[in-house]
Structure 1
Amino acid sequence: MDDYPLLNLFWTIMVFFIWILWFFLLFRIITDIFRSHDLGGWGKTAWLVVILLLPFLGVFIYLIVRGGGMSHREMQLVQQQDEQFKAYVRDAAETHPHSKADELAKLSDLRSKGVITDEEFQQAKVRVLS
């Protein structure tokens, strides 16, 4: 450890984290290219070629030209996924019947409030249990 000063260790760690951040940014941009609905096949191909052949310059150009829309496209995707999830939950809640115990508890509550008679309660109970 004597031949590797603390400052060199600091710079090595910093370069390593910048390298990781660079790959994160690169993958984020490539993901944005493929998710863009406003780009056609040729546009996506052109951006990928620019980014792969001129990595630093290509990424910076992409951020300047299309960077403002990246957050907008991400928000649209999140909202779409949220709407799909809510629709799934609503559909699942509607299609799954209540348990027999829940139905019997509701019937018992209706009978105790006087909404249905004992005879109606017995008929409904037979239907629920069958």
Structure 2
Amino acid sequence: MLLAADYPFLDVVWTMLIIFAWVIWFWLLITVFSDLFRRKDTSGFAKVLWIIFVIVLPFLGVFVYLIANHDGMTDRNVKQAQHERAQFDQYVQSVATSGGAAAEIEKAKGLLDSGAITQAEFDALKQKALATS
């Protein structure tokens, strides 16, 4: 119990708040820099000026950037998310199939069981489905 007396509870809470503030601060810096480098509507000279402003006056620079560019940041994030979603949907559609040979054979088996096709036709459909896979 000697250890607990050396580090009171309020000191623990204060330490946790300081760590949390540092994590949030670095998150803000990364967000601002990533948005700044991702922008296509800003010249390289303007990007350098923003970087110098954020490095020389960190708190003021980050807060001014967030106030001045909050709408643009949101639009760029939404556009990027939509682009990634479209790429994912396109990928899923490109790799998704109608079920492959197993689905074709299952459909043919259903037709055979219902009497719509003969055993010879079923065998031909089965061979065709297996040949295409």
TMscore range, shorter length? 0.7 to 0.9
| 1:110 match | 111
Question: In the superposition, relative to structure 1, how do residues 31 and 114 fare at CA in structure 2: closer, same or farther (>3 Å)?
Answer: same
Structure 1 gap ranges (5+): none
Gaps of 5+ in 2: none
Q: Residue 76 of structure 1 aligns to which amino acid in structure 2?
A: K
1:47 matched to 2:23: no
Which string of whole-angstrom CA distances, capped at 9 and with x for unpartnered residues, describes residues 59-113 of structure 1? Answer: 111012112322221111111111110010001114x861x33221111112333
Distance 2:88 2:130 in 1: 33
> Do the aligned partners of residues 55 and 109 (structure 1) sit closer, same or farther apart at CA in structure 2, a change above 3 Å counting?
same
Q: CA deviation at 1:6?
A: 4.5
Question: What is the TM-score when the length of structure 1 is the normalising length?
Answer: 0.80
Aligned length: 128
Aligned-pair CA distance for 1:47: 1.5
CA distance in 2, matches of 1:111, 1:125: 11
Where does residue 60 of structure 1 map in the other structure?
A: 63
Alpha-carbon spacing, 1:14–1:110, altered in 2? closer, same or farther (3 Å): same
In structure 2, distance between residues paired with 1:120 and 1:20: 68
Q: Normalising by the residue count of structure 2, what TM-score does the alignment of the two structures yield?
A: 0.78
Letter of the 2:120 counterpart: E
**Mapped partners of 1:66, 1:12: distance in 2:** 32
Report matched runs for 1:88-99 at 5 Å. Answer: 88-94=91-97, 98=100
**1:11 Cα deviation (Å)?**
3.0
